[in-house]
A = this chain, B = another copy of it.
Amino acid sequence: VNFGILGSGIVGRTLGGKLAELGHQVMIGTRDVSETLARTQPEGYGGPPFGVWQQQHPRVKLGTFADAAAHGEIVVNATAGMGSLEALEMAGRAHLAGKILMDIANPLDSSRGMPPTLSVANADSLGEQIQRAFPETRVVKTLNTVTASLMINPSLLSGEHSVFVSGDDAEAKAMVTQILKDWFGWPSVIDLGDITSARGTEMVMALWLRLFRALQTPLFNYRIVRRAE
């Protein structure tokens, strides 16, 4: 499958690297290719500059947001949430029409201090904003509740734990669920309902950020425990 991944940060790299390793054709999209390649500073989460990373992952191509969206049969939104709508506009409506968009972004807003708040929450969500702005695209909100390394390697944690899918298109959710289970190894993928349920997984960031601080590691996740048999 051809994947277009919007965003060259830790999430885009992690997913892009894994999908390429699985044999898929991956292009990462960025706002300005030459600027991204010219970077010499470590990336925000301590990873190498993109050019160095790409030398280690030569099968992953780099292009503009529009190049990557055109390339992808499935497109992944791995941009920073507050910039996602703009990045998707740059990717181009026509390049996204009819396609599955895995939306992994959280609309984190650090302008009011740390931990961040959300720039949209409660009666709306970024997932819904994207679905409204791109009605021909099949948006599936997923993976936004876990740190990047867990997204593709859930066995870093012991026992069963879950990720979620939210979206209006049942077939798109089924496809994404299969990717999560069969390719990334997720033992449990819970369908939360339509795209409005993205509010649930985006708003859980408020808990995640406090747990991150309390546990002093991003390597944790939620297991949904049900009634004793």
Contact = CB atoms under 8 A, between A and B. Distances in A.
Interface of A: 112, 117-118, 121-123, 155-161, 166, 190-193, 197, 199-201, 203-204, 206-211, 213-215, 217, 219-229
B209 A200 contact: yes
A226 B217 contact: yes
* Copies of this chain held together in the complex: 2
Contacts of A156: 227-228
B207 A203 contact: yes
Most buried by B among A197, A200, A214: A200
27 contacts: A117-B123, A156-B227, A157-B226, A157-B227, A157-B228, A158-B225, A158-B226, A160-B225, A161-B223, A190-B211, A191-B214, A192-B207, A192-B210, A193-B210, A193-B213, A197-B210, A200-B206, A200-B210, A200-B211, A203-B206, A204-B204, A215-B224, A217-B226, A219-B226, A220-B227, A221-B224, A222-B225
A212 B191 CA distance: 12
Given A200-B206, A220-B227, 5 more contacts: A158-B226, A200-B208, A204-B204, A220-B226, A221-B225
Most buried by B among A157, A219, A223: A223
Nearest to A199: B206
A129 B156 CA distance: 39
Nearest to A207: B200
Nearest to A161: B225
A41 B217 CA distance: 50
A207 B159 CA distance: 21
Contacts of A227: 156-158, 217, 219-220
A206 B158 contact: no
Contacts of A118: 122
A164 to B, nearest CB: 8
Contact of A203 (B203, B214, B226, B228): B203
A190 B213 CA distance: 12
Contact of A158 (B166, B199, B229): B229
